[in-house]
Amino acid sequence: LACGTGGGYVIVIPPGIFKFSAKPNIPSGISVIGYGKWSTILFVPTTLATEFLNFNGTGGYPTVLAGVGVLAQTGGAASATGIKSTKNGLFIRDVWVNGFQYGMNLGGTDNFVHDFVSEECTVGVGASEANINISDGQLYACGEGLVVANNASAEAGRVLVTGLRATQCTVNGFVVSAGKQVTLNGCSAAHINNTKFTGAGVKIDGSSDVEVNGFVGTILGTPSTTGVGILASGSSSNIRITGGSTKGFLDGVQMAAVATGTITGGAHSGNGRRGVYISAGDAICVSGVVARNNGTVAGTTDAGIYSDNTSSFALHSITGCICAQDGGGPQDYGIYENLTDNGGSSGFTALTGNIAKFNISGQITTAGLVANITSTGNV
């Protein structure tokens, strides 16, 4: 596979299966076009240990990769990358990658990825730059579906992820680690096996300015004893979770040591322990959430919403939520609020306008420094 080096050229690969003995050299500004991800199949050398298709030009022409499948030969690419970008202005569409350490590794700004399948990779897609748009993709049987780690360059533009579906991932469906300015819209993580997604459907760690909108996380059958639907931790800040639903995880949503976070709307029901779990943190607002019939995992203090306000000067608000079980469900508490006295520097929690009914052990239960918990208009 070779082409001129002046830029603006296009390599067109016809339908068929092509077995490579070495990785191709793609000069700057060269596009590669096949006839469809299921029609033009590129088999990677068994000796490959780096990356197969490497787009590393700088400046000049935009580059397109489209209509190809990039597959690792059996046992040949466990430490390799299928498609790597360190180039600004790369457009990827209609692509299938299978069997790599990284299916795609996006290290350039202004990268756009649409209509793809990444399967049986350690990481389906990695993104470490800014102004990246990823949409309409399937992440199947990967260790981690999508990993965004863009903190150093985030001021150049958001990473926008739309309509990705993670299925049967071993650890995490979506990860934002040391990330900044990241938006996940309309993504999902699902499987029938509770040994999948042992970490989280969405994991946010050590990140800031992250929003998750309309995420649907589902494990059918017996709930997981380890995995969380949406997990925000690691001193993350300004985390916004809106709408969506979780079912079959240990906790639907968990915020652990987050500074400034909102959980707005959404249905987090049928999870193994808690619908929403706030652990420490500060300035956490939960509003308009429905949390019903959680608590099928034995030996836990389960609740629709469990708030552990244990940080000094921390302020939490739980407003307008519905926390109940339907008469035959396992949920012990509707809302359980625990506020710890930190030597006179404890925070405050306001419980306002919530409905908690028909739970087994208690409806709205407070513990610890109850003088700093206000309860208004709850039923």
238: alpha, beta or left? (left if phi > 0; alpha if psi -120 to 50): left
- Residues 293 and 57: their CA atoms lie apart, in Å, by 54
pLDDT(8) > 90: no
Which range, of 1-15, 29-43, 173-187, 215-229, averages the lowest pLDDT?
1-15
pLDDT at 277 over 60: yes
Residue 338: predicted pLDDT: 94
Segment 239-251 shows an average pLDDT of: 97
At residue 5, does pLDDT exceed 80?
no
30-39 per-position pLDDT tens digit? 899 999 999 9
DSSP state of 153: G
Helix ranges, 251-361 (H): none
Provide the pLDDT for residue 45.
Answer: 79
Percent of the chain at pLDDT > 70 equals: 93
Please state which of the ranges 17-21, 91-95, 286-290, 324-328 shows the lowest mean pLDDT.
Answer: 324-328
Ramachandran region of residue 136, left (φ > 0), alpha (ψ -120 to 50) or beta? Answer: left
The pLDDT mean for the chain works out to 91
Which of 284, 213, 225, 215 lies closest to 249, judged by CA? 225
Confidence (pLDDT) at 3: 57
Asked whether the predicted pLDDT for residue 75 surpasses 60, the reply is: no
**Distance (Å) of CA 249 to CA 216, 219, 227:** 12, 6, 6
pLDDT at 321: 98
State the pLDDT at residue 21: 84
Residue 122 has pLDDT above 60, yes or no: yes
Q: Is the pLDDT of residue 79 over 60?
A: yes
Sequential DSSP letters for 102-141: EEEEE-SSSEEEEEEEEES-SEEEEE-SSSEEEEEEEEES
Query: Can you tell me the mean pLDDT for 179-193?
Result: 94
Closest CA to 57 of 86, 83, 28: 28
pLDDT at position 291? 97
Token pair 């092509």 in the structure block, residue: 18
pLDDT for 139-166, tens place per residue? 999 999 999 998 755 556 789 999 999 9
pLDDT of residue 182: 95
Predicted pLDDT of residue 300:
76
Q: Is the pLDDT of residue 6 over 60?
A: no
Torsion of CA 28, 70, 98, 205, to 10 degrees: 10
Q: What is the reported pLDDT for 355? A: 98
